[in-house]
């Protein structure tokens, strides 16, 4: 039979799945011999069974009775004994901490019959006993029977506690139609069931969705003998951290509240005092607490966050857990623990994440001027954005077009808001969480977003928040990393970590930068995946190199056809004879050569993968409307067939001729190279000539959009001829971005020196999603429905698109063992995807320059942490 209940002494932190974080850690403390009130844990198994059938599973009641008896023996008191009652707390505790999301009921077991007994235990303190009863009725009423919290209100100083209890019992009866239960065992059973049910409370469901915590884990329930911090000045309750969770500094951090029960600290009803002052108040308990914290740190080898209560000079530990911390503190603490000999550098890599490093690279607000903080929402997409408030997408686009930075403020966004979102510096909404439309789209665009700031009351032309009225045009500042909203223009300061990467800040200048320096140095020694950058200009390439890139994995050549070079492309498109076409290409050649020289210089000694032109050529032509208007105007004016008009007419014809219903699936990539004679050849020649000019140039030529080996062979033959002619060595490879290429990778590998996965297109074509359309249109709904937990453009879809990747790696390597394989889609900079690429056996990832440090760190983390390690 399944065991549903564990005494604390039977558990351990390794049983977190079953006992939840709180229960596992209480057990751990008991086993360390620390002072924990006796108790037991009802497992998540029991919770899941309860939620499945709506009633307690068979055997649970007996098991609870058995463990309660044991608890009673340890405590030396019995539940419901009128003369000397045992009281317990009933506390939720899931595997992953969900602060404040689920329920806890204190003082369970108190009844009309046992109040006097409790008073006697407290040395005749009637006030304390009745106040405890009052708390029970309120918490039980709210939690177990859903009585609205506001129904319980009392002026605790004006009424006697007895009178408040009488009134609260009335409130309870009025809302539930029943008397407050006078059977302590019934109280216990109902409280346990209420905690089970709180797993599915709306706010808990929302929180899990946001934090990507699986919905089917269930919560454990801890039943713990009550100890009392509200028995007078020699009692109290508090929280204590072993290090500062904000900066990582060592020291004593915490708050203490004398003569109080735990919930008072959280409720913020009374002012707490700094934990240090407890030393004066109760030196013995303070010293014991310090010794326990040292012990816990040594045991967990990490920062611990603790809750404790002192009952008449006796210290009790009520909770410990590995504490949450800021991104900066995570880096600092990880290296401190290394220096203290508690963990090694490999383990330190498991204590920080790429997401944290990315956070540290964003510019941040300089808060030294104490800006006015008016609201807080969900930190949905990081960054620091300042702008004038605008309430309407069209208006945002209009104002931004005049050069005024704007923040788009909406209750929520929808696909019609896209132009405004693109134009805005940042997006602020009053509704919705991390998977709302605003959040999904902003993350996709790398734009700062704070959403669900529900303090915002948005009306036409203005909003109120924090007692302030903010009108259209007023400046606000939003912090997508913390979710905070400030009034006015808060100055932005560059990230010290980026300045360190840029070489303008000494690595030993402060604890954070030196921690980042050390951990990345170790990451570089540890990782198997190489990290390259996607860069098209010498400036980007140089930055990427400073950020640690080991080459360029993707140079897009299309930008080299823009600007004044457009006219050359137009000539190429309009060419009617091979001679005209060759002339246009001949003019493009030296320009391209110059582009590549700059890149090779910036990356001297390192490989540079150059992708031959990918987008459809008509993207380089003027828009249809412009041309049509130009031609119509000229004809109206009766202009003769002069040079301009003829050319515009020709262009207009070309635009019509080359129009595609589905450009993403049209004449682009390798297809273009095979249809426009000389185009790819010109690019290959430019690469080769540039390579001859630069010492240490290591070019690689990459063919986009290949679906069949024959396509690649045709391009390859021509390219090899040119390279041979110029005496230049270069690998020739292909993108794997069309599903057919992945499925025929074994054939394609015969003609390819390397593969580079273009996971944007592979996702687009694998799912049949047009990225530009679907994210704004319906991804929010898909995320709500749980069809995927995160956009497949953000994090690679392991099961589908990932399967194509694995097939291509396996079959490509089988055909050609020395095949070099990387990825150059945006997934190359996404932590989760990097772990997948490591597992799939790729040789490198390539990502945007700013993601390079993140990728270095995550590549190393994949190498040292077990697959799928938890970073929550």
Catalytic site positions: 437, 824
Q: Phi/psi of residue 723, each to 5°?
A: -60, -45
Nearer to Mg ion, 244 or 761 (CB): 761
The closest alpha carbon to 10, from 27, 34, 22, 35, belongs to 27
- Nearest residue to 317 via CA among 238, 214, 414: 238
Residues 112 and 85: their CA atoms lie apart, in Å, by 12
What is the rounded CA–CA span in Å between residue 825 and residue 532?
12
Q: Which is nearer to ligand ADP, 224 or 723 (CB)?
A: 224
Closest CA to 788 of 761, 756, 766: 766
From CA 841, how far away is CA 832, in angstroms rounded?
A: 15
Site string for ligand ADP, 34-73 (x = CB under 6 A): ---x------------------------------------
| Residue from the set 56, 139, 165, 224 that interacts with ligand ADP by CB under 6 A | 224
| Contact by Cβ (8 Å): 225, 87 | yes
Among 25, 187, 198, 237, binds ligand ADP (CB under 6 A): 237
384 is an interface residue for ligand ADP by CB under 6 A: no
The answer to whether the beta carbons of residues 446 and 430 sit under 8 Å apart is no
Q: Which stretch binds ligand ADP (CB under 6 A): 150-158, 222-230, 513-521, 671-679?
A: 222-230
Residue 189: contacted member of ligand ADP, Mg ion, none (CB under 5 to 8 Å, by partner type)? none
Could you tell me how many residues of this chain bind ligand ADP (CB under 6 A)? 17
Residue 390 interface partner, choices ligand ADP, Mg ion, none, CB cut-off 5-8 Å depending on type: none
Phi-psi sector, 479: left (phi>0), alpha (psi -120 to 50), beta: beta
Q: What is the 3-state secondary structure (H, E, C) of 428-473?
A: EECCCCCCCHHHHHHHHHCCEEEECCCCCEEECCEEEECCEEEECC
Answer yes or no whether residue 653 interacts with ligand ADP by CB under 6 A: no
Distance of closest approach, residue 89 Cβ to ligand ADP, in angstroms: 3
122 binds ligand ADP (CB under 6 A): no
For ligand ADP, the binding residue among 68, 79, 86, 106 (CB under 6 A) is 106
Binding site for Mg ion (CB under 5 A): 307, 319, 737, 758, 761
- Strand pairing category for 475-479 and 384-390: antiparallel
- E strand spans, 323-377: 364-365, 373-376
Residue nearest to ligand ADP (CB): 262
Provide, rounded to whole angstroms, the least separation between the CB of residue 22 and Mg ion: 7
The single residue listed with the structure tokens 């299309």 is: 558
Contact partner, 263, from Mg ion, ligand ADP, none, Cβ < 5-8 Å per class: ligand ADP
Q: Which of 104/326 has CB closer to ligand ADP?
A: 104
Closest CB to Mg ion: residue number? 761
Measured CA to CA, the distance from residue 111 to residue 183 in angstroms comes to: 7
Count, in order, helices (H) and strands (E) of the chain.
Answer: 34, 33
Alpha helices in 246-323 (DSSP H): 262-267, 278-281, 283-300
Out of ligand ADP, Mg ion, none, what residue 224 binds, judged by CB under 5 to 8 A for its kind, is ligand ADP
* Residue 758 touches which of ligand ADP, Mg ion, none (Cβ within 5-8 Å per kind): Mg ion
Rounded to 5 degrees, φ, ψ at 461 are 80, 0
Q: Which range of residues in 27-35, 224-232, 648-656, 704-712 is near ligand ADP by CB under 6 A?
A: 224-232
Least distance (Å) between residue 456 CB and ligand ADP: 27
**Shorter beta-carbon distance to ligand ADP: residue 15 or 224:** 224
* Interacting residue with ligand ADP among 227, 304, 424, 608 (CB under 6 A): 227
Least distance from ligand ADP to the Cβ atom of residue 265, Å: 7
Among residues 38, 254, 262, 452, the one that binds ligand ADP under rule CB under 6 A? 262
6 is written with which tokens? 């564990």
> Considering only residues 76, 100, 677, 696, which one is a binding residue for ligand ADP as defined by CB under 6 A?
100
Closest CB 670 distance from Mg ion, rounded Å? 11
- Binding at 737: pick from Mg ion, ligand ADP, none (beta carbon under 5-8 Å per type): Mg ion
The 10 Å Cβ neighbour count of residue 339 is: 9
Per the rule left: phi > 0, alpha: psi between -120 and 50, beta: everything else, 258 is beta
- H helix or E strand, kind and range, residue 732: strand 731-736
Rounded to a whole number of angstroms, the minimum distance from the CB of residue 57 to ligand ADP is: 23
Q: Could you say whether residue 107 binds ligand ADP (CB under 6 A)?
A: no
CA neighbor of 180 nearest in space, from 221, 139, 209, 150? 139
Q: Within positions 273 to 312, which residues make up the interface with ligand ADP, using CB under 6 A?
A: 307, 309
Task: Name which position in 68, 171, 226, 332 contacts ligand ADP (CB under 6 A).
Answer: 226
403: left (phi over 0), alpha (psi -120 to 50) or beta: left
Q: Give the CA distances from residue 575 to residues 143, 559, 643, in Å, rounded to whole numbers and listed in that order.
A: 78, 21, 15
- Inter-CA distances, 477 with 439, 444, 474, 490, Å: 17, 21, 10, 6
Contact present, 441 and 422 (Cβ < 8 Å): no
User: Which residue, 192 or 408, has its beta carbon nearer to Mg ion?
Assistant: 192
Find out whether 220 and 39 touch, Cβ atoms under 8 Å. Answer: no
SS3 state of residue 867? coil
Q: Of these, 62, 112, 186, 263, which contacts ligand ADP (CB under 6 A)?
A: 263
Return all residues near 802 (Cβ < 8 A) that are at least 6 apart.
796, 836, 840
- Return the range that interacts with ligand ADP (CB under 6 A); candidates 99-107, 135-143, 501-509, 674-682: 99-107
Nearer to ligand ADP, 199 or 850 (CB): 199
- Binding residues for ligand ADP restricted to 714-773, rule: CB under 6 A: none
Which of ligand ADP, Mg ion, none lies near 753, with the C-beta cut-off 5 to 8 A by kind? none
859 binds ligand ADP (CB under 6 A): no
Residue 309 contact partner, candidates ligand ADP, Mg ion, none, CB within 5 to 8 A by sort of partner: ligand ADP
203 sits near ligand ADP (criterion: CB under 6 A): no
Whole-angstrom Cα Rg for the chain: 33
| Residues 9-38, interacting with ligand ADP (CB under 6 A) | 37
Residues in Cβ contact with 569 at an 8 Å cutoff, skipping those fewer than 6 apart: 561, 584, 588, 617, 620
Q: Is residue 104 a contact point for ligand ADP (CB under 6 A)?
A: yes
**Which two structure tokens, joined as six digits, stand for 756?**
């580079």
Token pair recorded at residue 659: 């129009």
* Closer of 318 and 441 to ligand ADP (Cβ): 318
Residue 121 touches ligand ADP, criterion: CB under 6 A: no
The residue from 25, 319, 429, 435 that contacts ligand ADP (CB under 6 A) is: 319
Q: How far is the CB of 264 from ligand ADP (least distance, A)?
A: 9
* The token pair that represents 65 in the structure block: 């009775």
Q: Min. distance of Cβ 310 from Mg ion in angstroms?
A: 16
Minimum distance between the CB of residue 92 and ligand ADP, rounded to whole angstroms?
6
- Examine residue 435 and tell whether it contacts ligand ADP (CB under 6 A): no
- Position among 77, 78, 91, 321 found at the interface with ligand ADP (CB under 6 A): 91
Looking at 43-51, 181-189, 220-228, 861-869, which segment touches ligand ADP (CB under 6 A)? 220-228
**Residue owning tokens 């603490």:** 333
Say which residues have a Cβ less than 8 Å from residue 395's Cβ, sequence separation at least 6.
Answer: 420, 472
User: Using CB under 6 A as the criterion, which residues of the chain lie in contact with ligand ADP when the complex forms?
Assistant: 37, 89, 91, 100, 104, 106, 224-227, 237, 262-263, 307, 309, 318-319
């Amino acid at each position: 039979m399944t065991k549903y209940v564990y005494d604390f002494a039977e558990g351990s932190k390794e049983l977190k799945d079953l006992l939840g974080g709180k229960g596992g850690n209480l057990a751990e403390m008991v086993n360390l011999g620390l002072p924990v009130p006796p108790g037991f844990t009802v497992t998540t198994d029991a919770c899941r069974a309860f939620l499945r059938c709506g009633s307690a599973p068979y055997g649970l009641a007996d098991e609870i009775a058995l463990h309660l008896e044991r608890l009673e023996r340890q405590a030396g008191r019995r539940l419901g004994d009128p003369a000397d009652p045992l009281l317990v707390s009933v506390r939720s505790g899931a595997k992953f901490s969900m602060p404040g999301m689920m329920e806890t009921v204190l003082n369970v077991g108190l009844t009309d019959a046992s109040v006097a007994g409790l008073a006697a235990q407290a040395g005749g303190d009637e006030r304390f006993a009745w106040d405890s009863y009052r708390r029970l009725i309120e918490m039980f009423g709210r939690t177990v029977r859903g009585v609205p919290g506001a129904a319980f209100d009392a002026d605790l100083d004006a009424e006697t506690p007895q009178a408040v209890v009488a009134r609260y019992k009335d409130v309870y009866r009025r809302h539930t139609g029943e008397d407050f239960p006078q059977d302590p065992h019934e109280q216990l059973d109902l409280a346990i069931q209420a905690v089970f049910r709180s797993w599915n409370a709306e706010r808990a469901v929302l929180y899990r969705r946001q934090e990507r915590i699986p919905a089917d884990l269930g919560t454990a329930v801890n039943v713990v003998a009550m100890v009392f911090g509200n028995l007078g000045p020699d009692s109290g309750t508090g929280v204590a951290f072993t290090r500062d969770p904000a900066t990582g500094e060592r020291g004593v951090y915490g708050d203490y509240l004398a003569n109080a029960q735990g919930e008072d600290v959280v409720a913020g009803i009374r002012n707490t005092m700094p934990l240090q002052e407890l030393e004066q108040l109760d030196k013995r308990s303070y010293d014991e607490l310090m010794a326990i914290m040292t012990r816990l740190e040594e045991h967990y080898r990490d920062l611990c966050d603790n809750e404790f209560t002192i009952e008449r000079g006796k210290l009790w530990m009520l909770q410990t857990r590995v504490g949450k911390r800021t991104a900066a503190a995570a880096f600092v603490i990880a290296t401190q623990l290394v220096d203290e000999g508690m963990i090694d550098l490999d383990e330190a890599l498991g204590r920080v994440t790429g997401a944290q490093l990315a956070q540290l690279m964003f510019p941040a607000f300089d808060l030294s001027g104490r800006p006015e903080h008016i609201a807080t929402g969900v930190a949905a997409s990081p960054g620091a954005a300042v702008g004038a408030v605008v309430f309407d997408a069209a208006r945002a686009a209009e104002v931004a077009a005049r050069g005024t930075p704007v923040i788009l403020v909406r209750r929520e966004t929808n696909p019609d808001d896209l132009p405004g979102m693109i134009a805005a510096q940042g997006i602020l909404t009053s509704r919705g969480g991390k998977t709302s439309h605003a959040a999904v789209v902003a993350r996709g665009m790398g734009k700062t977003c704070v959403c669900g700031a529900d303090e915002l009351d948005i009306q036409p032309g203005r909003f109120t928040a924090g007692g302030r009225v903010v009108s259209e045009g007023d400046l606000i500042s939003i912090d997508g990393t913390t979710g905070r909203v400030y009034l006015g223009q808060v100055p932005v300061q560059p990230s010290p970590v980026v300045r360190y990467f840029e070489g303008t800040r000494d690595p030993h200048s402060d604890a954070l930068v030196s921690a980042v320096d050390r951990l990345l140095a170790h990451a570089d020694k540890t990782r198997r995946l190489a990290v390259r950058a996607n860069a098209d200009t010498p400036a980007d390439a140089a930055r990427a190199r400073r950020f640690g890139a080991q080459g360029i994995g993707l140079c897009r050549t299309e930008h080299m056809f823009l600007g004044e070079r457009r006219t050359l492309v137009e000539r190429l498109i309009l060419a009617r004879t091979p001679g005209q076409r060759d002339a246009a290409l001949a003019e493009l050649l030296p320009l391209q050569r110059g582009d590549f020289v700059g890149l090779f210089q910036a990356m001297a000694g390192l490989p540079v993968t150059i992708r031959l032109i990918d987008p459809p050529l008509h993207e380089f032509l003027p828009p249809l409307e412009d041309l049509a208007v130009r031609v119509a105007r000229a004809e109206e004016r009766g202009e003769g067939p002069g040079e301009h008009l003829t050319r515009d007419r020709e262009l207009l014809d070309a635009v019509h001729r080359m129009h595609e219903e589905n450009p993403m699936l049209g004449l682009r990539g390798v297809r273009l190279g095979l249809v426009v004679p000389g185009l790819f050849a010109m690019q290959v020649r430019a690469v080769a000539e540039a390579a001859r000019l630069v010492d240490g140039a290591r070019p690689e030529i990459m063919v986009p959009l290949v679906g069949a080996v024959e396509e690649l062979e045709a391009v390859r033959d021509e390219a090899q001829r040119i390279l041979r002619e110029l005496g230049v060595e270069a690998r020739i490879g292909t993108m794997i971005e069309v599903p057919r290429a992945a499925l025929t990778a074994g054939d394609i590998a015969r003609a390819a020196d390397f593969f580079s996965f273009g996971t944007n297109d592979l996702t687009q074509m694998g799912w049949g999603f047009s990225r530009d359309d679907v994210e704004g249109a319906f991804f929010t709904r898909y995320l709500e429905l749980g069809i995927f937990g995160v956009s497949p453009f953000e994090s690679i879809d392991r099961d589908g698109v990932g399967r194509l990747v694995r097939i291509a790696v396996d079959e490509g390597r089988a055909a050609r063992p020395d095949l070099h394989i990387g990825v150059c889609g945006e997934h190359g900079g996404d932590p989760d995807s990097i772990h997948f690429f490591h597992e799939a056996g790729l040789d490198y990832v390539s990502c945007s320059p700013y993601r390079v440090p993140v990728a270095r760190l995550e590549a190393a983390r994949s190498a040292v942490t077990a697959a799928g390690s938890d970073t929550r």
